[in-house]
Each structure stands twice: as C-alpha cells, then as structure tokens.
Amino acid sequence: MLTSASTPIKSVAVVGAGLMGRRIAGVMARGGFRTVLTDANAEILPAALSDAQAMCSDVVELSTSADIADAVSGVDLVIEAIVENLEIKREVFKIMRASNAEAILATNSSVIPITAIASELADTSNCVGMHWWNPPDLIPIVEVIRGEGTSDAAMDLCFEALTRAGKLPVRVERDVPGFVGNRLQHALWREAIDLVASGVCDAETVDLVVRNTIGLRLAEMGPIENADYVGLDLTLAIHEQVLPSINSDPFPSAHLSELVAAGNLGAKSGSGFLEWPVGSREAAAARLSAHVSSQLSAQHHTD
C-alpha cells in the first residue's frame, strides 16, 4: 500500500474485465506493475486474462480474482472500469474503499464527474478520474481528472504511474462532465447530427467532409493552435458569422432520440444513421485500429 506521497505506485487492481478493463490491465502489467483483474462475472476472467497477457511480450505479474475485496486489498491503485452508471459506480467505490483504506481509487468514467462518483466516501483526497480512450492500448492519452477533494499527491502519483506505463497523461484540473476530449468530441457530434436532422446534407456527406478536411489536420494541429495559426482576428470574424446558427440545444437531438426509441442503435443493431450489414462493424474496428497504429508509427518516426 502507499505510505506517502513520495512512494511510487507499484501494484494495480482493475475492477471490470470488459474490453476496456482487460486492455487497461494489460497496459499496466506491460508497464511493470503487479496487476490483478477482477469482474463480477467470474466466467469472463479466463478470456480476459488471455487477452491482457497477449499484450505483454515479457513475463509479467498479471493475475485475476473473482472476489473484488481480495483483488483490491493491498494494492496501491485501483482502476474501476465498469458500466457507465453513477449509482453502480458509487456502490463499487464504497466496496473498494472498504476493502482498501489507503489506495488511490480511479474511475475510467468517460463523462460522469469524479466528485459525484466519490460523493459517498468520507475522504475523497485519494479519488481521481483516469479516463482511458478506446482502444486503451493504442490511444496514448489518459485524462487524469481532479475531483473537488482530490489531493495534489494523488494527481502526481497517477500521472507518474501512467507515464511509466508508456501513456501520455494530461491533467484536467476542473471536474466537468465529459472532461476535455468528450466535450470536444460531442460538441462536434451534436452539430453533425443537427446537419443531418435539419436536411443540410446526409450522414455520409458529414463523415466524408470531416474525414477529408479537419480530420486530415487535427492529428497534427489542434483547434487552439489552428486558431492562432490562421489568426485570431479571422477566427473572431468566422465566429461572428457562424456561431449564431450552430446548434446550441442543451439536450440530445430529437432525431437521435427517435432512432434509439425505434431500436436503430447503429452498428450493434444493423442500422442507425447508416446501414451496418453483417461484418461491417468488425471491418470498421479493424480499419480504425490500423489507422491509429499507422498514425502513431508515423509520429514515432518523426519524433
């Protein structure tokens, strides 16, 4: 267990052995951390362990436990990677803290504020957000989010551990829903959906335009740098013309709600904004993985 702010994290428990949790466990084990993976559904643990071990070229300290209390006891860091449900996360946080009074408790929530998840604990100084992006073994960024009670020591220890694991951690100093990446991503998605719903263009056109314009340059030049690059006077002039007509609804699109109510959930159901014939979801996943890998490889060659 951690004994002081200067003691580095050496052992990790990952709670939740789904597609995210097992890969997070693999990354941490590969990074040299003694890692244990647990899940409420013990039947998936053998396959999860196999998947995590496949990410590690060397012999690593990676195991599973069907008992969450046993998995969490004695480790320095616990990473929760379960269903995105506030009440369930709160209950799991209470179980984790009861099983380990000193460990840093991290949640992989992608949108729920950390303060809300840890709100029923007496002391939240060792509670942080640790948002990994899918696939977590490929996407470099991990957002480390400060809740209202999070200590500097907890932030620093997580930042250092993730760096040691080969990730690119970033500090999110205010606990807002969606943090940084998902706020940016879903602001784009809201406008994309509105363009389709309002008849400006079809769904295929939205994706075609994004992939072949801003998508080509975002990996190299982020929006803030791009604003400076083109000139803030031009950025201001464009905003004055465009922002008044951009969708600013504080609620989900009615068109999106209608699709979900009709059971048109996208790739998982075969139809959403687009049609998803059998095998197309797997093909899209493979295409995305290959693209991310090639981008990262290109970055490494130019570093």
Query: What is the set of active-site residues?
Result: 110, 131, 143, 182
Rounded to the nearest 5°, which phi and psi values hold at 75? -90, 165
Residue whose tokens read 């904004």 = 273
Could you tell me which residues come within 8 angstroms of residue 162 by beta carbon, excluding any fewer than 6 positions away? 130, 142, 144, 169
d(CA 132, CA 155): 15
Could you tell me which residues come within 8 angstroms of residue 67 by beta carbon, excluding any fewer than 6 positions away? 38
Could you tell me which residues come within 8 angstroms of residue 284 by beta carbon, excluding any fewer than 6 positions away? 267
Q: What is the DSSP string of 151-209?
A: -HHHHHHHHHHHHHTT-EEEEE-S--TTTTHHHHHHHHHHHHHHHHHTTSS-HHHHHHH
Contact between residue 54 and residue 166 where contact means Cβ atoms under 8 Å apart:
no
d(CA 199, CA 69): 53
203-213 CB burial, b ≥16 within 10 A, e <16: eeebeeeeeee
* Half-sphere exposure at residue 219, Cβ-oriented, CA atoms within 13 angstroms: 17
Q: How far apart are the first and last CA of the chain?
A: 37
Beta-ladder partners of 80 = 15, 107
